[in-house]
Amino acid sequence: MSRRILVTRPDVVGKTVAELDVRNRYGVTLSRVIRGEVDFVATADVKFKFADALVAVGEEDSIKKFASDMGDSLKRLNYPDLVPIFVGIALGVITGNWPVRFPGVVTPIKLGLAGGPLIVSILLSGLGRIGPLVWYFPPNANFTLREIGISLFLGCVGLRSGDKFIQTLTSQHGIYWIAGAVLVTLAPLILVSFLARAKFKMIFFTLCGLMSGSMTDPPALAFAGQMADTNAAARSYAHVYPLVMILRIISVQILVAFFY
């Protein structure tokens, strides 16, 4: 028989299939690992992450014993552990405000409240667990906070820029500012899109995620995600967004330090 088993025991997080010796110890064969919405082959060097779904094949008693040792508790996944969340936030704030000095730049560079938590979350996600702390956030809570964050972001942008948009547009040089903004925004997008499609044969939804991530534009990603039932856009966005965000934060501060 085969069964899908959830990894919910903190002490097995970070261990590999070979370290647990699943086949000899339990008499069970792992065929697939499902992480988020991506599944892959359970090779010997695969490390278990919290909330991984393991497709196990074997005798019923063997699978039950293996499931007991893995945790296999759906209830455990539905309740967020607040201690790791607040520890992660605190580490992100500290990292964002930590001054970093570069040669030739007088003013120290800081990642800020956008870059610091981003870097810390990526590192903690890669670690998976530190002692009793498991770095995991339930998907339902993640989706809720993401949608609320996008709505608040769009609302703040509108309130900050909308009141002077007409005034700027109708001013003496307003139309030139708008035309320049359109050119700076569209020219790189069009160039990279043609290059990605013509040379790298990138599929449309992967390209949508790439463009959204390169412009650090969550609303564009949300729009692309609603167009089809695929995670191609989200995966490419996740690869591009962190690098672009960090480069934007650092490059602007370096330019200001050099020219002013």
pLDDT at 92: 92
CB-count burial class (<10 Å; 0-12, 13-18, 19+) for 255? exposed
Sheet containing strand 53-58, strands side by side: 2-6, 53-58, 28-35, 38-41
DSSP state of 200: S
Quote the pTM value.
Answer: 0.70
pLDDT at 260: 67
What is the distance between the alpha carbons of residues 98 and 231, in angstroms, rounded to a whole number?
Answer: 35
CB-count burial class (<10 Å; 0-12, 13-18, 19+) for 212? buried
Of 55, 76, 75, 77, give the one whose Cα is nearest residue 66.
Answer: 55
- 56: β partners: 3, 30
pLDDT tens column, 48-78: 988 899 999 988 888 989 999 998 888 888 7
Q: Cα dihedral sign for 138, 247, 249, 240? A: negative
> What DSSP element (H or E) covers 224?
helix 218-227
pLDDT tens column, 176-208: 888 888 898 889 888 988 888 888 888 888 888
Measured N-to-C along each axis, helices 218-227 and 139-161 cross at an angle, to the nearest 10 degrees, of 130
So where are the chain's domains? 2-77, 80-137, 172-260
What is the distance between the alpha carbons of residues 221 and 86, in angstroms, rounded to a whole number?
Answer: 27
pLDDT at 253: 79
pLDDT tops 90 at residue 90: yes
Phi and psi at residue 181, to the nearest 5°: -65, -40
What is the distance between the alpha carbons of residues 218 and 195, in angstroms, rounded to a whole number?
Answer: 23
Of 222, 236, 176, give the one whose Cα is nearest residue 38.
Answer: 236
DSSP state of 11: G
What tokens appear for 100 in the block? 């970093």
Return the amino acid letter for 134: V
Q: 2-77: which CATH architecture?
A: 2-Layer Sandwich (3.30)
Percent of the chain beyond pLDDT 70?
98
Return the amino acid letter for 201: K
Q: Are strands 2-6 and 53-58 parallel, antiparallel or unpaired?
A: antiparallel
- The alpha carbon of 34 is separated from its chain's Cα centroid by a whole number of angstroms, namely 17
Q: Do residues 210 and 196 lie in contact, with contact meaning Cβ atoms separated by under 8 Å? A: yes
Mean pLDDT of the chain: 84
pLDDT tens column, 35-46: 876 788 888 888
Residue 234's SS3 state is helix
What is the distance between the alpha carbons of residues 142 and 140, in angstroms, rounded to a whole number?
Answer: 5
> Of the ranges 21-25, 55-59, 115-119, 230-234, which one carries the lowest mean pLDDT score?
230-234
Across 79-100, average pLDDT: 88
pLDDT at 54: 92
Give the pLDDT band (50/70/90) at residue 81: confident
